[in-house]
Amino acid sequence: MTIAQVPRTDEYGPFGPPLFDDPAARALSRLAVIDIGSNSIRMVIFDGAARSPAYFFNEKVMAGLGAGFAETGRLNPEGKRRAMSAMRRFRKLIDGMGASPVIAIATAAMREAADGRAFRDEVEAETGIRIAIIEGEEEARLSAQGVFVGWPGARGLVCDIGGSSMELALVNDGQVGRCMTSALGPLRLLGIEGGQKAVRAEIRSTVAALGDAVGARHDRLFLVGGSWRAIARIDMERRGYPLHVLHEYRMSPRDVRETVKFIQKSSVADLRSATGIGESRMALVPLASLVLKEVVKALKPAEIAISSYGIREGVLFEQMPQPLRDRDPLIEACRFSEQKDARQPGFGRALYHFILPLFRSAKASRLRIVRAACLLHDVNWRAHPDYRHDACFDSATRANLGGMTHAERVFLGLALLHRYKGSRMGTRFDEMLGILDTSEMDEAEVLGRAMRFGAMFSAETPLSHGELRWFPKKKHLELRLAEDAHDLFGEVAQARFAALVDALGATSEVRKLRGDGAG
């Protein structure tokens, strides 16, 4: 059997053929979701690969509909004015962008205020946008589904905090279990009489009741909501954490305790100056931090993870057909990016199979990152050659990609950096030292150099011209060249193959095959 006859029995592997351009997925490419909360109103129009969405448009107005609700039981008059203005603007934008369908939901403030439904009717009459006022349990369910957008197999407990309420939902392998709601939103807590002692007592008793219902000692607590993200950003500042990507940021229970202490002893002005968090959001953070401290103390999660995906992404997830829900969000997003930006869409799959022998013993979790790297290896080709490696690293580490831990983000970025640059000295990677250990850095370099060789060795399907054989025990790499590929292995190809061998710390052999497959 010649190299050209090697069968492709694993064309797509466990990921299946791409679905990002399927009609069912493209129908969601201009879905608009409006989330009318107690503190903010936000409209998002989604785009890109629906399974790992990009944000075509994203605007938030801190209307404060729920401000003062605890005292009056009604929506805040100034909040109503600002909310109506925002909704008129959103109507115009939806028409101008051709967004469809449009789904608007309202949560605690409009749900519980005496004038909430009357104001809903007024907004609908003014804008023509239908608004569904959802119950707290439904709010919890949608937020949990939003977590599935980033973590398809999420297990643990989802906690979503808004201005006037806090929701909990149990999740397990893509299924939402029990959902609960409470009045632990910071705007609601502001209205409690009796000072901080009374507020703390209310928080403790409410969280204790929630804990009795959902149990404790969950593997992971997923945090959803702007106040939680603000606390995580402060935790990053306190710890000097180098990667300012909130999604998938992890904290331990001890981190939470230390950051709550840090918040309580710091001035709001100092926290804002250090983190860039907005004034309206920061005003709620001290109270929200007290809630989080009690939640972590009572529910005893092993780990706390921040989700940038919540109720709006949960609405998107609700519209997805099941085959799309079942897909890996990272791989679908990378496929979309390759199709949109690469010079040769589809080459990433061929490159993956060419370099796969080097990673035969890798775990499935690492292979999906290898697959993602191959799909993204060429999407920054338009960047200036002197800065292409930086562009690759930045796009991987800071892009809106779900389904990756921070360590995996940095691993992917470093591999793509080495796709275009041999040395990482003096690069942006220096800022991230400590997120990867030495063995992970070495593995990322091997992946980058393998892609660097494979991408230039053949302009089409490298497996038709050559085959890599890796013998890890002997640390020996063999390149078998088909007869029609001898000329492809020129000086530059030889240098890049040698660089790969060097990264492996291996010996090597190049076997030039004849037409009958013999060396």
Q: Choose among 91, 70, 273, 338: nearest CA to 191.
A: 70
What's the pLDDT at 225?
Answer: 96
Predicted confidence band at 515 (pLDDT cuts at 50, 70, 90)?
Answer: low
Section 450-454 average pLDDT: 97
User: Does position 298 have pLDDT exceeding 80, yes or no?
Assistant: yes
Tokens describing residue 156: 């643990």
Whether a cis peptide bond, with omega within 30° of 0, leads into 17 is no
Topology adopted by domain 24-134: Nucleotidyltransferase; domain 5 (3.30.420)
241-253, pLDDT tens digit by residue? Answer: 999 999 999 999 9
Section 261-265 average pLDDT: 96
Tokens describing residue 505: 């710390």
- 516 or 198: whose pLDDT is higher? 198
CA distance 420 to 390: 9
What's the pLDDT at 10?
Answer: 57
Instruction: Show the 3-state SS of 451-464.
Output: HHHHHHHCCCCHHH
Name the least confident of 180-184, 400-404, 418-422, 476-480: 400-404
Section 144-163 average pLDDT: 95
CA distance 17 to 277: 41
Burial class (CB in 10 A: 0-12, 13-18, 19+), 373: buried
The DSSP symbol for 58 reads E
Choosing among 3.40.190.10, 3.30.420.150, 2.60.40.10, 3.40.50.11740, the CATH entry for 137-312 is 3.30.420.150
**Percentage of the chain lying above the pLDDT 70 cut:** 97
User: Does position 464 have pLDDT exceeding 70, yes or no?
Assistant: yes
Bridge-based pairing state of the strands 32-36 and 41-47: antiparallel
DSSP H helical ranges for 13-159: 23-26, 69-72, 77-97, 108-112, 116-127, 136-150
Does this chain's domain 24-134 share its CATH topology with 327-512?
Answer: no
88-130, pLDDT tens digit by residue? Answer: 999 999 999 999 999 999 999 999 999 999 999 999 999 999 9
What's the pLDDT at 519?
Answer: 61
Plot region of 396 (φ>0 → left; ψ -120 to 50 → alpha; else → beta): alpha
User: Does position 30 have pLDDT exceeding 70, yes or no?
Assistant: yes
CA distance 57 to 517: 55
CA distance 64 to 110: 11
What's the pLDDT at 9?
Answer: 44
Predicted confidence band at 517 (pLDDT cuts at 50, 70, 90)?
Answer: low
- 74 or 400: whose pLDDT is higher? 74
Mean residue pLDDT across the chain: 93
CA distance 251 to 233: 11
CA distance 408 to 432: 12
Topology adopted by domain 327-512: Hypothetical protein af1432 (1.10.3210)
Number of H helices, E strands in the chain: 21, 14
What's the pLDDT at 11?
Answer: 66
Q: Domain ranges in the chain?
A: 24-134, 137-312, 327-512
349-377, pLDDT tens digit by residue? Answer: 999 999 999 999 999 999 999 999 999 99
One-letter amino acid for residue 156 of the chain: G
Count other C-beta atoms under 10 Å from residue 232's C-beta: 25
User: Does position 238 have pLDDT exceeding 90, yes or no?
Assistant: yes
- Give the three-state DSSP class for 382: coil
